[in-house]
Amino acid sequence: MVPHRQGSDAAVEAMVAEAENHPISSILIIIAMQTEAIPVVNKFQLTENPHSLFPKGVPWVHYHGTYKDITLNLIWPGKDLTLGVDSVGTISSSLVTYASIQASKPDLIINAGTAGGFKAKGAGIGDVFLISHVAFHDRRIPIPVFDLYGVGLRQAFSTPNLLKTLNLKTGKLSTGDSLDMSPQDEASITANDATIKDMEGAAVAYVADLLKVPAIFLKAVTDIVDGEKPTAEEFLQNLAAVTAGLEQAVTQVIDFVSGKCLSDL
């Protein structure tokens, strides 16, 4: 008799193989900040769902609509109920990603957002990167194997045709829950060989991997981490302009995806 685990794995692999060969019909877009989300909402004329998909009391906001032949569900975690600021970071993004996958059953996840970039690795303000790999830089567990778990290195869903057609930059993403960068974070980011630094991506990747949903990551650079300007100042200064470029990249990706299977990407 085949052990249950092996049988379950085989069933999952069969479902993944089937999914890769039918046209993509449902995309889940996870965006952490309202300023990042609204240009995409407006571009695709998405409407806010007055009947929440989520547990009563959570601030998570769901926009939905149809573009060409694709159902689009865009989720942002909303405003913190106490402080009224965007619910950024890995905890909110993990919860929202899990609940949104359960509710919308997407064929593909796009995690889009702004991020810091490293000029030493070729990043500039306004650049949009299609991420190749994601990892954490602030989960330091100096015990064998636990150290690898803490880093949580994962490969984004491979999209060579998308990358070639849209001529996007590509690089590795490192995720942590702080906007600034401590010396310990910097050492971990260097070890992760990261070009881009954000506060959500690796958490979204963890949940997507857990639930076997392919995920891609579009990150637009608002601030140069290894530059001369203070990160918070540069981030706020460039946020509005860079989110416009992010929306354009999301649109290009969805236009490319339309009518294609996962295996075509």
Q: Give the residue numbers annotated as catalytic, written as ranges.
A: 36, 223
DSSP one-letter string for the chain: ---HHHHHHHHHHHHHHHHTTSB--EEEEE-S-HHHHHHHHHHTT-EE-SS-SS-TT---EEEEEEETTEEEEEEE--B-TTT-SB--SHHHHHHHHHHHHHHH--SEEEEEEEEEE-GGGT--TT-EEEEEEEEESS----STTHHHHHH--EEPPP-HHHHHHHT-EEEEEEE-S-SS--HHHHHHHHHTT-SEEESSHHHHHHHHHHTT--EEEEEEEEEETTSSS-HHHHHHHHHHHHHHHHHHHHHHHHHHHTT-BGGG-
